[in-house]
Amino acid sequence: GGPGAMAQARALLTKEPAPQAVPASDLPMKVCEVALNTGPDSSSGLATAGFRTAKYLLPEWHQRNSDLYHEAFVGCERAERGRAEAKELAEHAAATAQHAQQDSTATLGQRLQDIHFWKAELQKEIEDLDAETSLLAAQKLQLERALDATEVPYAIATDNLQCRERRQPPDLVSDQVERELLKEAELIRNIQELLKRTLMQASNQMRLNRDHKEVCEMDWSDKVETYNIDDKCGRYSNQSTNIQFHPTSVKFEESASTPETWAKFSHDNIYRAEREKLASINLRALIDNILHDVSKDLRMQCAAVNEAFAKRCEELDDTKQKLEHHLKKILKEIGDQEANIAALKQAIKDKEAPMKVAQTRLYDRSFRPNVELCRDEAQFRLISEAEELTESIESLKKKLLESEQSLRNLEDTRMNLEKEIAVKTNSIFIDRQKCMAHRTRYPVVLKLAGYQ
Q: Which residue has the higher pLDDT, 333 or 443?
A: 333
Taking each helix axis as running N to C, give the angle between helix 259-350 and helix 352-365, from 0 to 180 degrees, rounded to the nearest 10: 30
Quote the percentage of the chain above a pLDDT of 70.
88
User: What pLDDT was estimated at residue 410?
Assistant: 95
Nearest Cα residue to 316 out of 202, 207, 441, 422: 422
Banded model confidence at residue 48, pLDDT cuts 50, 70, 90: low
Q: Identify whether the C-beta of residue 437 lies closer than 8 Å to the C-beta of residue 156.
A: no
CA distance 308 to 302: 10
User: What pLDDT was estimated at residue 3?
Assistant: 56
User: What pLDDT was estimated at residue 121?
Assistant: 95
* Measured distance between the N- and C-terminal CA atoms of the chain, rounded to whole angstroms: 126
Residues 6+ positions from 146 with CB-CB distance below 8 Å: 195, 291, 294, 295, 448, 449, 450
User: What's the mean pLDDT in 66-87?
Assistant: 92
3-state DSSP call for residue 104?
helix
Residue 54 pLDDT exceeds 60: no
pTM of the predicted structure, to 2 decimals: 0.69
Q: Identify whether the C-beta of residue 385 lies closer than 8 Å to the C-beta of residue 336.
A: no
CA distance 381 to 387: 10
Residue 2 pLDDT exceeds 60: no
Banded model confidence at residue 441, pLDDT cuts 50, 70, 90: confident
For the chain, the farthest-separated pair of C-alpha atoms sits apart, in whole angstroms, at 262
Phi first, then psi: give them for residue 333, nearest 5 degrees.
Answer: -60, -40
User: What pLDDT was estimated at residue 16?
Assistant: 53
pLDDT digits (tens, 9 = 90+) for 347-389: 999 999 999 999 999 899 999 998 988 888 988 999 999 999 9
pLDDT digits (tens, 9 = 90+) for 108-167: 999 999 999 999 999 999 999 999 999 999 999 999 999 999 999 999 999 999 999 998
Nearest Cα residue to 53 out of 66, 42, 64: 42
Before 443, cis peptide (omega within 30)?
A: no
User: What's the mean pLDDT in 419-432?
Assistant: 93
User: What pLDDT was estimated at residue 36?
Assistant: 55
Nearest Cα residue to 164 out of 133, 185, 149, 193: 185
79: left (phi over 0), alpha (psi -120 to 50) or beta: alpha
Residue 18 pLDDT exceeds 60: no
Residue 304 pLDDT exceeds 60: yes
Nearest Cα residue to 143 out of 206, 85, 98: 206
User: What pLDDT was estimated at residue 375?
Assistant: 87
Residue 277 pLDDT exceeds 60: yes
Alpha carbon distances (Å) from 152 to 13, 108, 124, 431:
122, 67, 44, 18
User: What pLDDT was estimated at residue 339?
Assistant: 95
Q: Identify whether the C-beta of residue 136 lies closer than 8 Å to the C-beta of residue 415.
A: no
Residue 7 pLDDT exceeds 70: no
CA distance 424 to 193: 38
CA distance 170 to 414: 17
User: What pLDDT was estimated at residue 203?
Assistant: 96
Which strand (E) or helix (H) includes residue 221? helix 176-235
pLDDT digits (tens, 9 = 90+) for 201-248: 999 999 999 999 999 999 999 999 999 999 999 999 889 898 888 888
Q: What is the DSSP string of 379-428?
A: HHHHHHHHHHHHHHHHHHHHHHHHHHHHHHHHHHHHHHHHHHHHHHHHHH
Banded model confidence at residue 23, pLDDT cuts 50, 70, 90: low
User: What's the mean pLDDT in 13-28?
Assistant: 56
User: What pLDDT was estimated at residue 132?
Assistant: 95
Which strand (E) or helix (H) includes residue 315? helix 259-350
Q: What is the Cα 344 distance to its own chain's centre? A: 90
Banded model confidence at residue 8, pLDDT cuts 50, 70, 90: low
Nearest Cα residue to 65 out of 4, 14, 23: 4
Q: Identify whether the C-beta of residue 344 lies closer than 8 Å to the C-beta of residue 399.
A: yes
Of 177-186, 246-255, 297-306, the one with minimum mean pLDDT is: 246-255
